[in-house]
């Protein structure tokens, strides 16, 4: 069983972001892009990625994490103004030669 701390780390990563830009940086700098919890810190994100995507035979090593706070867009709904929630995006750099295969992980 995983420890309480691991349980917490498993909540950090919300979804991978797969887009033209993310594949571009992925190919250029071996970076992967995630949507993460608003309150997650860089060390937490690093630990979470290493925990979630390491396999028995290959330990994933994160060399850097950059985060962006994305402000929710203002949206008009009829006469009312609305606001989408703010969220946090993390660019995670892996050590050269390592990769994450999203299709293979459950």
Contact with other proteins (CB under 8 A): which of 11, 18, 43, 68? 18
The DSSP letter of residue 24 is H
Q: Which stretch binds other proteins (CB under 8 A): 16-24, 34-42, 65-73, 84-92?
A: 16-24
Cβ 5 vs Cβ 21: under 8 Å = no
Comparing CB distances to other proteins, the nearer of 22 and 50 is 22
Contact between 103 and other proteins by CB under 8 A: the answer reads: yes
Contact with other proteins (CB under 8 A): which of 3, 19, 69, 80? 19
Contact between 17 and other proteins by CB under 8 A: the answer reads: yes
Comparing CB distances to other proteins, the nearer of 13 and 47 is 13
Task: Give 37-72 as a DSSP string.
Answer: -TT--HHHHHHHHHHHH--SS----EEEEEEEEEPP
Judged by CB under 8 A, the chain residues 31 through 50 that form the site for other proteins are none
CA distances for 18 relative to 1, 4, 6, 50, 56, angstroms: 31, 30, 25, 19, 26
Token pair 């691991």 is found at 6
Residue ranges in contact with other proteins by CB under 8 A: 17-20, 22-23, 103
């Amino acid at each position: 069983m995983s420890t309480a701390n691991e349980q917490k780390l498993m909540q950090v990563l919300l979804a991978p972001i797969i887009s033209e830009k993310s594949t571009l940086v992925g190919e250029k700098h071996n970076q992967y892009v995630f949507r993460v919890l608003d309150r997650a810190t860089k060390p937490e994100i690093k630990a979470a990625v290493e925990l979630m995507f390491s396999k028995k035979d290959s330990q994933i090593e994160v060399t850097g994490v950059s985060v962006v706070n994305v402000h929710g867009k203002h949206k008009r709904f009829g006469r009312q103004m609305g606001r989408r929630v703010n969220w946090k995006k993390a660019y995670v750099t892996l050590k050269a030669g390592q990769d994450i295969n999203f299709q293979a992980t459950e």
